[in-house]
Amino acid sequence: MRFSVVIPARYGSTRLPGKPLLELGGKPMIQWVYEQASRSDAEEVVVASDDERVLQAVEGFNGRGVMTSSAHPSGTDRLEEVCRKLGLADGAIVVNVQGDEPLVPPAAINQVARNLDVNAQAGAATLCEPITDLEDVMNPNVVKVVRGADSMALYFSRAPIPWDRDAFSAKPVGSLPGTGMWWRHIGIYAYRVALLRRFVTWVPAPLERAESLEQLRLLHHGIGIHVDEAVAPVPGGVDTPEDYERFQRVLQNTL
């Protein structure tokens, strides 16, 4: 199986400006992500950015970068532009790895690419992990996913899905009523290039706009998304100053 990895990396993050270049353990964050992705089985790893400062940093550690438009409304649009610039064929598989996940496991990257390759009914593949904490279920910043018996996504939401009617109607709700029902979506995606070319022609779907979740555009158009439990723990990304401090502490304990 052959696949490529593209890492969209915007400099102008609203909550944490310049985050691809934030230093973690003596290296910019984008280098951590690039090196983790390079340990996967990908044939090539490319950073996609609209900012010369990010691409200069990538060049500084001998990585490969591609300049993209600053007008893209989403990382998926940026991904499609890179596929065009690389000349990837319609049937090629590309994995989108977020540029703010410095400890993304290479095994998870391989897993999502392989899952798309072997599941012909899926237009995309992604990952999830169990949620065992009530606070995470109720947190709108933790995206939840529900799946069918075939591991295809039924829905993604920021809301606490599924809703345990009896347990959650009790006041106060003390803890989750059991485990195995709640799953956190992990934002690693594998796509076939042909789907990306269709995706960028579609306007945002109503549910996508309501939830601020791009993957709902795929479900809106009847595209199946395969969702598998990640083979390795995937730490959350660096979205806020608090996340940055947390990763600093994690790296201090592991380096």
Per-residue DSSP letter, 105: -
Per-residue DSSP letter, 152: B
Query: Tell me, what's the pLDDT at 166?
Result: 84
Query: Tell me, what's the pLDDT at 254?
Result: 67
Burial of 180 from C-beta contacts in 10 A (0-12 / 13-18 / 19+): exposed
Among residues 99, 106, 107, 100, which one has the least CA distance to residue 78? 99
Structure tokens at 97: 């790895």
Query: Tell me, what's the pLDDT at 237?
Result: 84
Domain 3-254 has CATH 3.90.550.10: yes
Cα–Cα distance, 223 to 124 (Å, whole number) = 8
Residue with tokens 């979205």: 239
Q: How many residues does this entry show for the chain?
A: 255
Spans in the chain with pLDDT lower than 70: 172, 254-255
Query: Tell me, what's the pLDDT at 255?
Result: 58
Domain positions in the chain: 3-254
For the segment 146-189, what is each residue's pLDDT rounded down to a tens digit?
A: 999 999 999 999 999 999 888 888 776 778 887 789 999 999 99
